Structure 1
Amino acid sequence: METYNIILADDHKLLRHGIKQIIEKNKAIKVIAEAGDGLELLKLLATHSPDMIVLDIAMPKLRGIEAAIEIKMLHPHIKILILSMHKSLQYLHHALSAGVDGYLLKEDAPRELSSAIDTIRNNDTYISPLMSKELNNDIAQSYRTGKSSTPFEPLTLREREVLKLISEEKSNKDIAELLNISLATVKHHRAAIKKKLNIRKTAGLVKYAIRKGLTTPG
C-alpha cells in the first residue's frame, strides 16, 4: 500500500506535534512537512507533493481560506482539511466555498481527526459532528420559511478587503501587492464577489461598497 502523505499547516508548534502523533498512529499515513504560516505552506508545495493538507483556518501571513483558494487553483487534486475554532455555519460556508474537503473543529475529540482524514481519503466531504445540530436547525428553518436561520454575510473578510480596494480604484496588481496575495487569487476574489452579489460591473461594486460603509464617495 502506498503511503498517504500529509502536510500540517498551523502556527502553533505544540499543536502540530500533537496532530502529527495522532495522524501517524496509522502507519499508512505520513506527515512529510510542516508549515507555520500560509506563505511557508505555498513554498513547500514547490518541493513536496502531499495527498492532503491539514490547514488551520487562522494562519498568519496568508489566512487558511486564502491559502485553500490558492492551493485549489494550482493543485486541485490536493485534499484540504480545515482546522477551525469557529463553530459557525458562516465560517463553514466560506470554507466549503473555497473548495475545502473537510471542516474539523479544534474542540472535536482526537479520534475525529482520524475519522476526518479517512472520510476525505474516500473522496467524501467531512463536517464536524459538532456542527450537525446547527446544520439540521438551518435546514429545518429553510424548509419551513424558505430562508436560512443563519443571516450569512455573503462576503468573507478578505473579499470585503478586496472590494474596498476595488472601490478605491486599485488595480488587480495593486491589490495583490497590498494584500500580499497572488494576482490569480485577486481575480478569484473579484469573480467570487461579483457572483455572490450578482453585480456584473465595477461601478455596481463601488455603489455596494459605499452602501455597506466599506468606503466613502470620492
Structure 2
Amino acid sequence: MTSATKIALIDSHPLMRECISNYLSGFEYAITLQVDDGKELIDRLTKENVPDVCLLEFNARKKVGYETIKMLKSACPHMKIAIYSMQTGPVENQIPSGADVVISDQTSIAEFKSTLDKLI
C-alpha cells in the first residue's frame, strides 16, 4: 500500500469502534468515518471522503446489516464491504449479498488485519 487506505467503521458500540480504530490506525489505514449505523454513514459521505472499505458490524437478527449493505452498495458501488459480527449464526461462513468478506467472531486481531490487507 502506498497511501493510507480510507476506512469507514460502522458499529453501534462506541468501545468496539474505538478499539478497532486505534488498532488499525497503527498501520497504513486511515479511519475517516466512525458511525453508529449505515444511514449516518450515508448522511456524512461527501465526494472527498468516500472510503475504500467499510467495516460493518453485522446485525443479522434485526436484518439491519442486510439493509445497510444494500444502501452502501447503492451509494458507493466501488467501496469494499467487510462485515464482522459478535454473534454466531447467520453470517458465519457465508457472505451476505453485497459484502466482499466476512470476518468470523472467532478471528484473531492479526487475522482481522490480514483479511483487510487481502481485501485491499
**Alpha-carbon offset, residue 62 of structure 1:** 7.9
Residues 68-124 of structure 1 deviation map (CA, whole Å, 9 limit, x = unaligned): 111112211000110112433x4347x624210111123421112201111111xxx
Report 1 or 2 for greater relative contact order, CA contacts < 8 Å, sequence distance ≥ 6. 2
Q: Deviations over 1:152-177 (max 9, x none)?
A: xxxxxxxxxxxxxxxxxxxxxxxxxx
- In the alignment, the residues of structure 2 paired with residue 72 and residue 33 of structure 1 have an alpha-carbon distance, to the nearest angstrom, of 17
Query: Could you say which residue in structure 2 is the equivalent of 1:53?
Result: 54
Per the alignment, residue 38 of structure 1 pairs with 38
Cα root mean square deviation, aligned? 2.3
Is 1:87 aligned to residue 88 of structure 2? yes
Amino acid at match of 1:120: L
Which 5+ residue runs of structure 1 have no aligned equivalent? 122-218
- Cα deviations across residues 29-83 of structure 1 (Å, max 9, x unaligned)? 1101100122212212246210001001129x98122111111122110001101
Q: Runs (4+) of structure 1 moved beyond 3 Å?
A: none
From the CA coordinates, give the structure whose radius of gyration is larger. 1
Alpha-carbon distance change, 35 to 62 in structure 1, aligned in 2, over 3 angstroms: farther
In structure 1, C-alpha distance between the alignment counterparts of 2:91 and 2:106, rounded to whole Å = 15
Distance in 1, matches of 2:44 and 2:3, equals 21
Looking at structure 1, the residues matched to 96 and 20 of structure 2 have their Cα atoms a distance apart, in angstroms, of 25
When the two structures are superposed, what TM-score results if normalisation uses the length of structure 1? 0.48
**1:91 alignment partner, SS class:** coil
CA distance in 2, matches of 1:6, 1:75: 13
**Matched residues in 1 for 2:11 and 2:33: separation?**
11
Q: TM-score, normalised by structure 2?
A: 0.83
Which structure 2 residue ranges, 5 or more long, are not aligned?
Answer: none
Q: Which structure is higher in strand share?
A: 2
Percent of pairs with identical residues: 26
| 2:82–2:99 contact (8 Å) kept in structure 1 | yes
SS in 2 for 1:55: strand
Number of residue equivalences: 117
Q: In structure 2, what residue type is equivalent to 1:96?
A: I
Structure 2: distance between partners of 1:114 and 1:65: 23
Query: Contact conserved, 2:66 with 2:96, CA < 8 A, in 1?
Result: no
**Which structure shows the bigger proportion of residues in helix conformation?**
1
